[in-house]
Amino acid sequence: MDGAQTYQVSVNTVSENCTSCSLAAGCLPKGLPWQQWRQLDALARHPAVFVRRQRIYSQNAPFYSCYIVKSGAVKTVYINAQGQERVLGLYLPGDLFGLDGVGDGSHTCSAQALERSLICRINFADLEQHMARMPKLQRLLLQLMSDQLNAAHGLICSLSQSTAEERVVRFILELSDRYRQRKLSGTEFRLAMTKTDAANYLGLAVETLSRVLGRLRNRGLIRIQGRQLQILNEAALKAIADPSHIFLDS
């Protein structure tokens, strides 16, 4: 019915818990005291492999868990009544996603792996119980939700007040930041999504994104081949993204 979304991939359990997980760095418990982290350890029991396009959860499905990206990348999408997709979020290693379902107990969007990814599942009921005992965890959850809300607000501002070029440049710089936060190169990286998805996320037609990227390349600001992107002139990009110095136009 629904496209070929119902894969049955062998879900390899990578490790039974956090303390023995080789990917523990950059995970949710970061920032928690060691003792509390060990308590939390029991929660994230099911790191699993998802292949490209495989769904992690589906829109309208009952909400039981949230998830953490250990490796790879994940997008969340909302599908409206006409079947159009709208990309709402991009999640990279260390990011938490899936809390959209807390509101009314069912997920309001779907989550899909963009490439082969390792994903940890955290049972929300367990998480809630631990939150009550761990003030730092409680605070952390609220902060993460607040961060996501602020990210959404940023997107809203971009969508309504910015040109295609500004949006694209801001997207590039946002990715750059996020890779840098992960101790990866902020000047040369691979776009996690297809350009179709990226355009959708930015509220643009693919053609527009393609043209804008071409223009940026012609001006010598970036180098782009396929999904491989290199930032050549970060200062110029920042000037485009945040046009507050109008005085040196000409």
The residues of the shown chain that bind a copy of itself, judged by CB under 8 A, are 78, 80-82, 84, 86, 88, 99-104, 108-109, 128, 131-133, 135, 138-139, 141-143, 145-150, 152-153, 155-157, 159-161, 200, 203, 242-244
Identify the sign of the CA torsion 58, 101, 62, 43: positive
SS (H, E, C) 43-94: CCCCCEEECCCCEEECCCCECCEEEEEEECCEEEEEECCCCCEEEEEEECCC
| Separation between Cα atoms, residue 35 and residue 27, nearest integer Å | 16
* Least CB distance to DNA at residue 243 (A): 13
- 211 contacts DNA (rule: CB under 7 A): yes
What tokens were used for 168? Answer: 């694209």
172 binds, among a copy of itself, DNA, none (CB under 5 to 8 A by kind): none
Q: Which two tokens stand for residue 110?
A: 């779907």
List the one residue from 102, 208, 234, 239 that touches DNA (CB under 7 A): 208
226 lies in the site for DNA, by CB under 7 A? yes
Residue 228 Cβ vs DNA, minimum distance, rounded to whole Å: 9
Other Cβ atoms within 10 Å of 55 Cβ, number? 18
- Find the binder of DNA among 10, 82, 183, 207 (CB under 7 A): 207
Interaction of residue 240 with DNA, rule CB under 7 A: no
Phi, psi of 73 (to 5 degrees): -160, 150
Contact predicate 9/49, CB 8 Å = yes
Question: Could you say which of 6, 20, 129, 163 contacts DNA (CB under 7 A)?
Answer: 163
Q: Is 209 helix (H, G, I), strand (E, B) or coil?
A: helix
> In angstroms, rounded to a whole number, what is the distance separating the alpha carbons of residues 100 and 148?
10
Q: Which is nearer to DNA, 104 or 207 (CB)?
A: 207
Q: Which does 108 bind (CB under 5 to 8 A by kind): a copy of itself, DNA, none?
A: a copy of itself
CB of 107 to DNA, least distance (A): 23
Provide the minimum distance between the beta carbon of 29 and DNA in the complex, in angstroms, as a whole number: 33
Interacting residue ranges for DNA, rule: CB under 7 A: 52, 163-165, 194-196, 203-211, 213-214, 224, 226-227
